[in-house]
Amino acid sequence: MSISDALQSHPPHVALLPSAGMGHLTPFLRLAVQLVRHHCRVTLITAHPTVSLAESQFISRFFSAFPQVSQVQFHLLPLDLSSANSTDPFFLGFEAMRRSAHLLSPLLASLSPPLHAFIYDVSLISSVIPVIEALNIPNYILFTSSARMFSFFSYFPTFTSKSNDDPAVFDDVVEIPGLMPVPKSSIPPLLLIPNNLFAKIFKEDSYKVAKLTGVFINTFEGLEAESLEALNGGKVREGLPSVFAVGPLAVCEFERVECGDQLKWLDEQPVGSVVYVSFGSRTAMSRDQIREIGNGLIKSGCRFLWVVKDKKVDKEEEEGLENVVGHELMERMKGKGLVVKTWVDQGEILAHRAVGGFVSHCGWNSVVEAAWHGVPILAWPQHGDQKINAEVVERSGLGMWVRSWGWGEQVVVKGEEIGERIREMMESKLLRREAAGVKEEGRKALRDGGSCGITFMRLFEEWQMSNRSI
Ligand code: UDP
Ligand code: G50
């Protein structure tokens, strides 16, 4: 019997547990869709409450589209804020899940049929491992960033022990075997601040990666050959689990949101003439920087579709667009582009033929979506893993990065400079050609007989071997 016949008659049962934030939830739901399409039985464990409205709406849309996926609700215990050492609502979301992880034990044990695999978020590793080891279920994470960032994460215990654990004395570059060096300036800034919540989670979890059965990453050879080879070739750290490159994870139909006006406007613009500007789902910009971006867009002379964000969490967005951007600037932008302050359908925008460039913070989902459509990126990392992702963008040819712009809140980048760099990106034939090459590699990975299908088959074989009953 072939693997696909065996899968259809005895489908493996997989449970997924995403963590807080759209950047973490989105790739989980896209992976769930792939597993369903490969005939797996899928249970999605959803944490309540979610941090943002976008997350709860996304989850509802997913279950409406995939009624065959079972939902199990994971009710989080209230978090004692005084002991958490962070004010970031998404990190507090990670922590609430970590502190509630023991509640997963009865929940996972009661699933029927028994699980062949449990796939959960990277930010839960050290709290989930004790639970899962007691239940003896193969355990995987979906790493929600790049393979390069996973290399850094896996190598973190090695280089911090070399630096006596004091982040202040980290070397100027981190030399990860098999990879281009990571400069200190690219390290997620919170890791350089001792005792904050994110650094604590990152450190605890990175020590435990060898205990995982495997790691899923939304990436592909054409984008990250170097890191994938270093990871699976055993160079980065001894005893690392297998890394499964399951990307590019395709944007799915259930993600569509109403954006008729924007698409209609894009339909009226010439091919490749519009620059799309967005910094993802959880990055608010200072008012000063917002004004400079507006001036920069006008200066660039390009048409634009710009998504403004004023607050980290959507529930707190109160001010109207005009108040945030300013009346005078809004007037000057009229007829030149579209400015919105709502959730947009990024998948549809990047797919549109009018869009010729993307000013992006380099959240990993945005990078892979741009790669899928071959849209060149002007990288402007704001925080976290985004500089390490920008290194991938630059190296793969998908985009350009102006390092002197620094992290989001370090400096206010002037409109003049922003405008010039946008023009440079939009006019670069080289970038367009290289981005088209990355797109072609991504499409190849998803074709019949491509690397993505082969990776899934390898996994299913592993699951079948580990359990003769399927
Ligand atoms: N996104 C979207 N519309 C928006 C803002 C974000 O569809 O208005 C999606 C985007 O396509 C991506 C995800 O939300 O899939 C954001 O994840 P990413 O890793 O790019 O950045 P983060 O928001 O986590 O910083
Ligand atoms: C969010 C963030 C900062 C940051 C990251 C974020 C990542 C991604 C990978 O997702 O580095 C990662 C997340 C959580 C974790 C380990 C690794 O515990 O604001 O750096």
Show me where the domains of the chain are located: 3-252+444-469, 259-442
Going from the Cα of 371 to the center of ligand 1, the distance in angstroms, rounded, reads 14
Distance in angstroms (rounded) separating the CA atoms of residues 167 and 187 = 11
Residues with catalytic function = 24, 121
- The answer to whether 370 and 350 are in contact (CB under 8 A) is yes
The set of protein residues with a Cβ atom below 6 angstroms from ligand 2 is: 122-123, 144-145, 149, 153, 188, 201-202, 205, 383-385
Tens-level pLDDT at each residue, the chain (470 residues): 566 666 667 789 999 999 999 999 999 999 999 999 998 999 999 999 999 999 999 999 999 999 999 999 999 999 988 888 899 999 999 999 999 999 999 999 999 999 999 999 999 999 999 999 999 999 999 999 999 999 999 999 988 876 665 665 677 899 999 999 999 999 999 999 888 999 999 999 999 999 999 999 999 999 999 999 999 999 999 999 999 999 999 999 999 999 889 999 999 999 999 999 999 999 999 999 999 999 999 999 999 999 999 888 787 778 889 898 899 999 999 999 999 999 999 999 999 999 999 999 999 999 999 999 999 999 999 999 999 999 999 999 999 999 999 999 889 999 999 999 999 999 999 999 999 999 999 999 999 899 999 999 989 888 877 764 43
d(CA 30, CA 376): 23
How many other β-carbons are positioned within 10 Å of the β-carbon of residue 49? Answer: 10
Distance from C-alpha of 300 to C-alpha of 332, rounded to nearest angstrom: 13
**Euclidean distance between CA atoms 85 and 99, whole angstroms:** 14
Q: What is the pLDDT of residue 461?
A: 86
- The pLDDT, as a whole number, for residue 469 is 45
φ/ψ bin of 379: left (φ > 0), alpha (ψ from -120 to 50), beta (otherwise): beta
Cα of 221 from ligand 1 centre, angstroms: 23
Closest to 339 in 3D by CA, of 323, 354, 350: 323
Task: Please report the DSSP string for 256-294 in residue order.
Answer: ----HHHHHHHHTSPTT-EEEEE--SS----HHHHHHHH
Q: What CATH superfamily is the domain 3-252+444-469? A: Glycogen Phosphorylase B; (3.40.50.2000)
The answer to whether 30 and 252 have CB atoms below 8 angstroms apart is: yes
Strands 139-143, 173-174: parallel, antiparallel or unpaired by DSSP? unpaired
Q: Tell me, what's the pLDDT at 72?
A: 97
Cα 259 to chain center, whole Å? 22
- How far does the centroid of ligand 1 lie from the alpha carbon of residue 362, in Å? 10
pLDDT of residue 470: 38
Task: Please tell me the predicted confidence (pLDDT) of residue 11.
Answer: 87
Measured between alpha carbons, how far is 373 from 208 in angstroms, rounded to an integer?
Answer: 36
Q: Measuring CA to CA, how many Å separate 303 from each of 26, 271, 321, 331, 411?
A: 29, 11, 19, 15, 26
* Residue minimizing CA distance to atom 18 of ligand 1: 363
Residue nearest to atom 24 of ligand 1 (CA): 23
Ligand 1 atom nearest the C-alpha of 384 is: 25
Ligand 2 centre distance from Cα of residue 186 (Å): 13
Question: What ranges in 38-115 are assigned the alpha helix state H?
Answer: 53-65, 89-99, 104-109
Q: How far apart are CA 23 and CA 77, in angstroms?
A: 23
Q: What is the pTM of this model?
A: 0.95
| 104: nearest Cα among 56, 46, 60 | 46
CA-to-CA dists, residue 233 to 150, 226, 227, 239, angstroms: 14, 10, 10, 11
- Ligand in closest contact with the CA of 365: 1
Cα 209 from chain centroid (whole Å): 19
Does ligand 1 lie within 6 Å of residue 386's CB atom?
A: no
Tokens at 276, concatenated: 């799309």
Cα distances from 159 to residues 59, 100, 111, 153, 166, in angstroms, run: 38, 30, 40, 10, 11
Give the closest residue to 263 by CA, choosing from 364, 205, 347.
347
| CA gap 371, 223 in Å, rounded | 8
Query: Does this chain's domain 3-252+444-469 share its CATH topology with 259-442?
Result: yes
DSSP state of 126: H
Q: Which pair of tokens denotes residue 329?
A: 């600037």
Q: Point out the ligand nearest to the CA of residue 94.
A: 2
Answer whether CATH 3.40.50.2000 is correct for domain 259-442: yes
Taking the C-alpha atoms of residue 164 and residue 242, their distance in angstroms, rounded to an integer, is 29
**Exposed/middle/buried for residue 351 (C-beta within 10 Å: 0-12, 13-18, 19+):** middle
